[in-house]
Amino acid sequence: MGGRPSVPIDVIRVFWLGVRAGLVIEEAASVAGVSVTHARSVFREAGGVNPIPAALVKGRYLSFLEREEILDLHARGRGVRSIARTLNRSPGTISRELARGSSRRLGYRPSVGQHKANGARRGPRQAKLAVNGRLRGEVQRRLRLHESPEQIAGRLRIDFPDDEEMRVSAETIYQSLYVQSRGGLSRELTTHLRTGRSMRKTRRKEGERRGKIAGMIMISERPAEADDRAVPGHWEGDLIIGSVASASAIGTLVERTTGFVMLLHLPHNHTALAVQEAMVTKITELPEQLKRSLTWDQGVEMTNHLKITEATGLDIYFCDPHSPWQRGSNENTNGLLRQYFPKGTDLSVHGEGILDNVAAELNNRPRKRHGWATPAEVLNKLLSKPHENTGVA
């Protein structure tokens, strides 16, 4: 592993696929068949980041999570075309995957399909930041100014609009920082990141297990109108957590079309019942045309999602594991809210009136994507013209 010739490449991939799927190091080591001591050493040397590019390919290639979804749907008797519609893939892709990853004795296995797909792809390319000195210097300069990799990647497109060589993704910057074998950037520069960590954290704490929530409907089945943001009433939600001692939290709801924000008061705990009661209270205040859907991650606080839907009429969809970009509006809003509610503080000291005031302040901030109109103004305009803008008859 991690460059050791005695460990096969397929074992390397199985270990990192386990980590990426949310297993802690000990669990991923067991799945891959290597010792825990060896796995910890490999994880530490890689900075907590999968160093094998083939396992990180997205977009045109099926991901391991998609392969797990194929296994689940296929086991339930779904046909190729039905699976393809659910995953938004072509039937040919699903058919080839089932043939590639199946055996007579075991049937379809995601790990087999992933292994064969990885083996068919080309080897790793030389890291862009390792070979482009001009780009590397610019990224280093901006990191020292405490700009985030995402901010750097976005700003380079503005500052060098006609220079393709001065483009780099945020993930490539993270890879170069945390995976030293990728070259380019010194790990010392991680001190300028917001977290200041010298290696990436695993997604789950040791011993924590998150089971599937009964009755989940995945984001792949969410209406297309929610994706293009043309129709208001589709929301994204999450929690921001207070100090461990206080057990407090604030629920955040963001309307996708306008960016309009509502906050849920959870001063004592964020159990499924507490979230259910706070959400039902807030959602029932909305007009019917704004009760279309809600997208949330697979946190246990949404165990009562069916009861929320029954009480409010709001359809609830769940993100894929470890996919915060599927709630991009909400992730951005949670970052803004930390200006008001810093991490590690007792959120119970903020009463419901304070939360409403903070939400109002955000809803009345001018937004570039709205031509400097505010979310409140845009929402009011949409609601005043239902036939033209909201799709409501």
Mean pLDDT of 282-302: 92
Give 164 or 33, the one with higher predicted confidence: 164
pLDDT tens for each residue of 135-184: 888 888 888 888 888 888 888 989 998 888 898 888 778 777 766 545 56
pTM for the full model?
A: 0.48
Sheet holding 261-266, edge to edge: 261-266, 249-255, 234-241, 293-296, 315-318
3-state SS of the chain?
A: CCCCCCCCHHHHHHHHHHHHCCCCHHHHHHHHCCCHHHHHHHHHHCCCCCCCHHHHCCCCCCCHHHHHHHHHHHHCCCCHHHHHHHHCCCHHHHHHHHHHCEECCCEECHHHHHHHHHHHCCCCCCCHHHHCHHHHHHHHHHHHCCCCHHHHHHHHHHHCCCCHHHCCCHHHHHHHHHCHHHCCCCHHHHHHCCCCCCCCCCCCCCCCCCCCCCCCCEHHHCCHHHHCCCCCCEEEEEEEECCCCCCCEEEEEEECCCCCEEEEEECCCCCHHHHHHHHHHHHCCCCHHHCCEEEECCCHHHCCHHHHHHHHCCEEEECCCCCHHHHHHHHHHHHHHCCCCCCCCCHHHCCHHHHHHHHHHHHCCCEHHHCCECHHHHHHHHHHCHHHHHCCC
- Identify the band that residue 187 occupies on the pLDDT scale cut at 50, 70 and 90: low
pLDDT of residue 282: 93
pLDDT of residue 390: 45
d(Cα 52, Cα 124) in Å, to the nearest integer?
8
- Identify the band that residue 186 occupies on the pLDDT scale cut at 50, 70 and 90: low
- Residue appearing with tokens 């946190």: 299
Write down the mean pLDDT value for the chain.
Answer: 80
pLDDT tens for each residue of 78-124: 899 989 888 888 888 999 999 988 887 778 888 788 778 776 665 55
Q: Report CA 293 to chain centroid distance, whole Å.
A: 18
d(Cα 310, Cα 315) in Å, to the nearest integer?
9
375 pLDDT exceeds 80?
yes
pLDDT tens for each residue of 251-269: 999 999 999 999 999 998 9
* Pick from 125, 106, 103, 4: nearest CA to 54: 125
* Pick from 113, 114, 117, 176: nearest CA to 143: 176
User: For the chain, how big is the Rg over CA atoms in Å?
Assistant: 23
Token digits of residue 23: 């297993």
- Identify the band that residue 5 occupies on the pLDDT scale cut at 50, 70 and 90: very low
Cβ atoms of 178 and 48 within 8 Å: the answer is: yes
DSSP strand pairing (261-266 vs 293-296): unpaired
d(Cα 303, Cα 319) in Å, to the nearest integer?
14
pLDDT above 70: percentage of residues in the chain: 80
Token digits of residue 58: 């997205």
pLDDT of residue 291: 93
**Other CB atoms closer than 10 Å to residue 41's CB: what's the count?**
14
Length of the chain: 393
pLDDT of residue 356: 92
pLDDT of residue 304: 93
- Of the given ranges (205-209, 295-299, 332-336), which has the lowest mean pLDDT? 205-209
User: What does residue 54 show for φ and ψ, rounded to 5 degrees?
Assistant: -60, -30
- Residue appearing with tokens 């072509």: 90
- Identify the band that residue 19 occupies on the pLDDT scale cut at 50, 70 and 90: confident
User: What does residue 63 show for φ and ψ, rounded to 5 degrees?
Assistant: -90, 165
- Identify the band that residue 62 occupies on the pLDDT scale cut at 50, 70 and 90: confident
